[in-house]
Chain A
Amino acid sequence: MDVALIGLIAMPLIAGLLSLAMRTRRSMERLQCAHAAVLLVAMSVVVMNVAEGSVITIGILLRADALSAFLDLMLAFVGATSLLYALGYMGEESTRGHVLHRRYRRFFCLFNLYLFAMLLAANVDNIALMWIAIEGSTLSAALLIGFERTKAALEAGWKYIILSFVGIALALFGTVLVYYASEHVLGVSMEALRWEDLYRVAAELNPTALKLAFVFVLVGYGTKAGVAPMHTWLPDAHGEAPAPVSAMLSGLMLNLALYAVLRFKSIVDRAVGADFTEPILLGLGLLSVAIAAIFLMVQRDYKRLFAYSSIEHVGIALVGFGIGGPVGVFGGLFHMFNHALAKSTAFYAAGMVMLRRGHKTIERVTGLVRQMPLVGGSMLLATLALAGMPPFGLFVSEVLIVTGAYGRGQWMAYVFLGLLAVAFATLLSQVFRMALGEPMEEGVPVTDRTRRFTASALVINLTAMVYSGTHMPGFLHDLFLPMTRLFGVTVEIP
């Protein structure tokens, strides 16, 4: 199982470097399909082993416990489908002559390095190396967001660079503060940066230093997670990035940033109690949902629409963690998982609409279901899931979080429900307008070769989405128990 973990992390790096040597579209397709298959196999081995109760540690650098394995599950699954999708999407761009082959190769190199940095961040057993890996993902994302080099894409990329570099610098300051506190207990050493040792001695760490550290880390990684009021880069970046990148940003990077916040929360909670972190997370979560609900109403661009919906869902997950207790923590984690599936599906579909119609204006898009049954249908289903309708997993987690909120305070639950209702109504009405009716424009259909990849990515994602909404897979169930224990609560999951 050591091999599986190393393979899982190293594969994207190897594939990324190899991509630069691929001379034809066909060889790139073979390489990336093999890459996706290896990712899925390695991830299954890691997840199955961790679900049986073991913690995989390799040397002093890598460690996969339940929370890491949970991240691996999302990163590898959505990563694999977005690789498939990217083969279609970028292949089409290259066939149409929008992207030269040299840049097509460079795209896959960056895309794989981005995935590599995220997988590394999720499994590294060291708070500072995690920071380095997350910074690495920020750097590759910065180039991917501006990849299309239009005015808007460059502007979005620049905003992303400035905001997330500042954010991540603040997170490093928080990390240094934790080290500053922990080296008094563990000495000037590598141990003072390791999760496992930090958990062990958390109760002895200086509480004031940890409180200060948590604020910096939350603002820092919160910027990457798109938490309001640091969210302003997010709609621009998600709107202007190529669709496979938007899917990765929304489905994976937001979760990775939340993961970093959660790791720090679990240490700070041991030192100062959850009473410090929970109200902050709750407040920021509600603010994010509120801001997203308002901006969803005024969107005219469908990719930005889904971007604001991501801010909403990050907010909902934060509300879950802010409520705390078994219901809140489980709800928040389950929400992250389902959001990754649904949002990546939505962006895959949005990218197909973009390829066909060549613009992103909601008002000019109608009749998607009739014109492109699979794409329109997927967009509709993903939107239903994102709006929180049964039978999808987001319905379950939202109900849990609302129940938890009711336990914390009635008025808060009503405010939260009200905001959810606004977001629900606007998101659905906007997408219904696009999906139903008669198509106004013919657009340019994609080639069959493209469709083969994009359709399989959509179908795999949809299947997983429906499946996880109706069943709780056994391995996921086994992961949740140790994960919630990390936050000092134990959940009995039916």
Chain B
Amino acid sequence: MGGMRPDIASQMVDLCSALLLLTCFAIIAQRRLSACVDLFALQSVFLAGTAALVAFLTGIHHIYIAALLTVIIKVVIIPRILKKVIERLNVTRELVLNVNIPPSLLICGALVILAFSITQPIISLGFLLTKDSLAIALAIVLIGFFTMIARKKAVTQVVGFLVIENGLFLAATAAAYGMPLIVELGVFFDVLVAGLIIGIYTHRLQDTFDSVDTSKLTELKE
């Protein structure tokens, strides 16, 4: 435990996880697309911080590698791809939302409560250090899910998907002290390729439909 008192260490991990959750709310409350991407990058910084903290406190070294990869892929590469897409598409704001911002925030609050109540019975299983992280991780996954439903622009849907990924990563690192290294490398590879494919698709959507408003995808219906 690096000479630190366990309760303080645990509270530090909780603080980092809570910051992750907070950025989710900021993303939900944000209309400007490039700000959403910045917030996602900020969230990934917190995620890397949490992972590094867990690695330091537990002495499991391979989590450092995961933290480093998070910085490279989720703080640098993917936000850069998304920024390029936004620039090229010339869209800056979500003008019409499926769900407006105030009700969105309320729904997300409810999702957090739901996540805590779902995970309550199994939280006692977890390590002392990272007890509450599983609930927070599930809350982040659910909020990411909601973002994908509540927003129309392809870019924000992608941010929602990436937020879900961050929640999953928090679950794996904080609640389960990291998956084996080969697994984490595989997951990172998949996330990176997914980011590239989504980039390719948004380009093609723009070329073909002159828009990335997914509510215009209405060709295929019963």
Q: Give the B-binding residues of A (Cβ under 8 A).
A: 126, 128-129, 131-132, 135-136, 139, 142-143, 146, 149-152, 154-159, 161-162, 165-166, 169-170, 172-173, 176-177, 179-181, 183-184, 188-190, 193, 206, 208-209, 212, 235-236, 239-240, 295, 298
B95 at the interface (CB under 8 A from A): no
Given contacts A154-B204, A169-B161, A183-B176, 4 further A-B contacts (CB under 8 A): A129-B186, A132-B183, A183-B177, A236-B220
Is B186 in contact with A208, judged by CB distance below 8 angstroms? no
Within 8 A of A (CB), among B188-206: 189-190, 193-194, 197-198, 200-201, 204-205
Q: For B161, give its contact among A166, A181, A208, A236 (CB under 8 Å).
A: A166
Q: Which residues of A contact B161 (CB under 8 A)?
A: 162, 165-166, 169
What's the nearest-Cβ distance from chain B to residue A118, in Å?
Answer: 15
- B interface list, Cβ under 8 A from A: 60, 118-119, 121-122, 125-126, 134, 138, 141, 145, 148, 154, 157, 161, 164-165, 167-168, 171-172, 175-180, 182-183, 186-187, 189-190, 193-194, 197-198, 200-201, 204-205, 208-209, 214, 217-220, 222
Find B217's partner among A155, A179, A183 (CB 8 Å cutoff): A155
User: Which residue of A139, A176, A183 is within 8 Å of B197 (Cβ)?
Assistant: A139
Would you give the shortest CB distance from B89 to chain A, in whole angstroms? 14
A to B CB contacts below 8 Å, 15 in the list: A128-B180, A157-B201, A165-B194, A166-B145, A170-B141, A176-B172, A177-B171, A180-B126, A180-B171, A181-B122, A181-B125, A183-B176, A188-B177, A209-B125, A239-B220
CA–CA, A405 and B182, complex, Å: 43
B168 A128 Cβ-Cβ under 8 A: no
A180 in contact with B176 given A162-B157, A162-B161 (CB within 8 Å): yes
B183 A169 Cβ-Cβ under 8 A: no
Closest CB in chain B relative to A150 CB, distance in Å: 8
C-alpha gap A131/B168 in the complex (Å): 13
Given A142-B197, A188-B60, also A149-B208 (CB < 8 A): yes
On whether the beta carbons of A206 and B122 are closer than 8 Å, the reply is: yes
Known A-B contacts A129-B186, A180-B126, A208-B121; the reply to A166 vs B148 at CB < 8 A is yes
Of B145, B193, B220, the most chain A CB neighbours within 10 A belong to B220
A176 touches B141 (CB 8 A): no
A173 and B138 form a contact (CB under 8 A): yes
Ordered nearest first, which 4 A-B pairs have the shortest CB separation?
A132-B186, A128-B183, A155-B217, A135-B190
With A139-B190, A158-B217, A173-B168 as given contacts, are A193 and B197 in contact (CB-CB < 8 Å)? no
Partner of A139, one of B126, B134, B167, B194: B194
Shortest beta-carbon distance, A251 to chain B, in Å?
A: 22
Chain B residues near A183 (CB-CB < 8 A): 176-177
Chain A residues near B154 (CB-CB < 8 A): 158
Contact A193 B180 (CB under 8 A): yes
Q: In the complex, A190 Cα to B121 Cα: how many Å?
A: 26
Given contacts A155-B219, A176-B171, contact A212 B197 (CB under 8 A): no
Candidates B134, B178, B201, B222; contact of A158 at CB < 8 Å: B201
Whole-angstrom distance between the alpha carbons of A183 and B125 in the complex?
A: 10
**Is A212 within 8 A of B118, CB to CB?**
yes
In the complex, are the beta carbons of B171 and A295 less than 8 A apart? no
With CB as the reference atom, state the residue of chain A lying closest to B180: A190
Q: Which residues of B contact A179 (CB under 8 A)?
A: 172, 176, 179
For A151, the chain B residues whose CB sits under 8 A away are: 208-209, 219
Output the least CB separation between B107 and chain A (Å): 17
Shortest CB-to-CB span from A290 to chain B, Å, is 15
State the CA gap A162–B204 with chains docked (Å).
15
Instruction: Tell me the smallest distance from the CB of A186 to a CB of chain B, in Å.
Output: 12
Report A-chain residues with C-beta under 8 Å of the C-beta of B119: 212
Cα distance A172–B168 in the bound complex, in angstroms: 7
Do the beta carbons of B217 and A162 come within 8 Å of each other?
Answer: no
CB distance from B68 to the nearest CB of A (A): 19
B201 A240 Cβ-Cβ under 8 A: no
Q: Is the CB of B201 within 8 A of A161?
A: yes
Tell me if A176 and B175 are in contact (CB < 8 A). Answer: yes
| Chain A nearest Cβ from B93, distance in angstroms | 21
Whether the Cβ atoms of B187 and A172 lie closer than 8 Å is yes
Chain B residues with CB under 8 Å of A173's CB are 138, 141, 167-168, 171
**Which chain B residues border A146 with CB–CB below 8 Å?**
201, 204
A158 close to B187 (CB less than 8 A):
no
Q: Is the CB of A159 within 8 A of B204?
A: no
Contact of B190 among A132, A180, A193, A239 (CB under 8 A): A132
Instruction: Tell me if B168 and A162 are in contact (CB < 8 A).
Output: no
Give the residues in chain B near A190, CB-CB below 8 Å: 180
Q: How far is the CA of A298 from the CA of B134 in the complex (A)?
A: 45
Instruction: Report yes or no: A159 in contact with B168, Cβ–Cβ below 8 A.
Output: no
Chain A residues in 8 Å Cβ range of B118: 212
CA–CA, A136 and B121, complex, Å: 33
Determine the chain B residues whose CB is within 8 A of the CB of A181 once the complex forms. 122, 125
Q: In the complex, what distance in Å separates the CA atom of A212 from the CA atom of B119?
A: 9
**Given A132-B190, A172-B168, are A189 and B180 also a contact pair (CB < 8 Å)?**
yes
Is there an interface contact between B175 and A180, defined as CB atoms closer than 8 Å?
A: yes
Docked pose: A129 CA to B161 CA in angstroms: 21
CA distance A158 to B214 in the complex (A): 9
- Could you tell me the distance between the alpha carbons of A181 and B126 in the complex, rounded to whole angstroms? 9
Q: Which residues of the other chain, B, contact A298 by a CB distance below 8 angstroms? A: 222
Contact in complex: B125, A162 (CB < 8 Å): no
Q: Kindly report which residue of chain B lies nearest to residue A149, judged by CB atoms.
A: B204
Instruction: For residue B150, give the distance in angstroms from its CB to the closest CB of chain A.
Output: 13
A135 to B119, CA, bound (A): 26
In the complex, the answer to whether B125 meets A180 with C-beta atoms within 8 Å is yes
Q: Beyond A139-B197, A208-B122, is A162–B190 a contact (Cβ under 8 Å)?
A: no
Residues in B with CB closer than 8 Å to A136 are 190, 193
Residue of B nearest to A61 (CB): B182
Partner of B176, one of A139, A157, A176: A176
**Residues of chain A lying within 8 A (CB to CB) of residue B175:** 176, 180
Query: Which A residues touch B197, using CB under 8 A?
Result: 139, 142-143, 161
Residues of A within 8 A of B189 (CB): 132
